[in-house]
């Protein structure tokens, strides 16, 4: 395949699997911003942007690291390493809702991958999930798909960070007084920070992977007992 054709195909794949309406259930989660808004922590464009940046920092130190390790393990034909990476991810999710989120989205993405591509590796991973051998966390399932699509680490991380930002912004659009123009302005501002978050993820060793973010973790705990909830978390 010519280089230009390969590049065009990669762009098309990034658009497809980076789409905020990809049917993996992301729309049912808010990454804690629902509680942040109800508690008055997020109340305008600036505080929403700060919350998005906090979530991206958390992603860069945990899920993005797992994605990188998954991609590298796949390309070195070390598929059994995915089982330990998956366990590392779920062990770092402090709140029950964050564990549910990564589990459900990971399984949905694997089911989607299995339906689209006839690659035995997806059938193997889905079977591991169904047997309970693994949780099937979203970053590991996503890294597995990116390996199949032959996308590089930069593209994979850009898709992941975009997904985190859009999940929060889409939820906020339904929860607070903020215009679509405000949301797009925030998105434009935070995407300029993606290279910094990617560098952080690339320089974080697997044993240093951590999802610790006190504000988000506390808000997730508050959300569990909320009387009115539009989102899962």
Residue for token pair 């859009």: 166
Yes or no: say if 48 and 186 are a contact pair by the CB < 8 Å rule: yes
CATH of the domain at 171: 1.10.4190.10
**What does the pLDDT look like over 128-178, one tens digit per residue?**
999 999 999 999 999 999 999 999 999 999 999 999 999 899 989 888 888
What is the count of structural domains for the chain?
A: 1
Residue 123: predicted pLDDT: 97
Q: In the chain, what is the greatest distance between 2 CA atoms, to the nearest angstrom?
A: 56
Task: Indicate whether 229 belongs to any domain.
Answer: no
The torsion angles phi and psi of 211, rounded to 5 degrees, stand at -110, 10
Query: Which band of pLDDT confidence, cut at 50, 70 and 90, is reported for residue 228?
Result: very low
Structure tokens at 199: 């560098």
pLDDT tens-place string over residues 33-84: 888 888 889 999 999 999 999 999 999 999 999 999 999 999 999 999 999 9
User: Is residue 102 one of the residues assigned to a domain?
Assistant: yes
- How much is the CA Rg of the chain, to the nearest whole Å? 17
pTM for this predicted structure: 0.89
Output the pLDDT for position 216: 67
At how many degrees (to 10) do helices 63-75 and 194-202 cross?
A: 60
Residue-range definition of the domain harbouring residue 199: 32-222
Is 6 within the bounds of a domain?
no
pLDDT (mean) for 104-121:
95
135 in a structural domain? yes
- Does residue 144 lie within any of the structural domains? yes
The answer to whether position 197 is within a domain reads: yes
The per-residue pLDDT for 227 is: 44
Find out whether 63 and 185 touch, Cβ atoms under 8 Å: no
Q: Where are the beta strands (DSSP E) in the chain?
A: none
User: Mapping DSSP to helix (H, G, I), strand (E, B) and coil, where does residue 77 land?
Assistant: coil
Q: Distance between CA 155 and CA 173 in Å, rounded?
A: 26
Task: Report if residue 132 sits inside a domain.
Answer: yes
Q: Is residue 230 part of a domain?
A: no
Which letter does DSSP use for residue 25 in this model? S
């Amino acid at each position: 395949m010519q280089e230009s054709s390969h590049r065009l195909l990669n762009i098309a794949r990034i658009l497809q699997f980076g789409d905020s309406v990809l049917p993996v259930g992301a729309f049912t989660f808010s990454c804690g911003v629902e509680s942040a808004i109800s508690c008055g922590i997020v109340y305008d464009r600036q505080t929403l942007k700060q919350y998005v940046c906090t979530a991206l920092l958390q992603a860069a130190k945990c899920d993005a690291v797992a994605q990188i390790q998954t991609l590298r393990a796949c390309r070195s034909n070390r598929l059994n390493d995915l089982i330990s990476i998956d366990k590392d991810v779920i062990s770092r999710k402090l709140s029950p809702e964050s564990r549910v989120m990564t589990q459900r989205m990971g399984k949905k993405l694997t089911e989607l991958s299995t339906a689209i591509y006839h690659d035995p590796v997806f059938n193997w991973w889905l079977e591991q999930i169904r047997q309970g051998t693994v949780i099937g966390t979203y970053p590991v399932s996503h890294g597995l798909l990116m390996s199949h699509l032959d996308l590089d680490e930069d593209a994979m991380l850009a898709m992941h960070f975009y997904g985190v930002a859009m999940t929060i912004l889409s939820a906020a659009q339904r929860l607070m007084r903020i215009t679509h123009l405000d949301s797009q302005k925030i998105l434009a501002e935070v995407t300029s920070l993606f290279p910094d978050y990617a560098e952080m993820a690339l320089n974080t060793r697997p044993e240093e992977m951590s999802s610790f973010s006190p504000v988000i973790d506390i808000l997730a705990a508050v959300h569990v007992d909320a009387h009115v909830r539009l989102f899962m978390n």
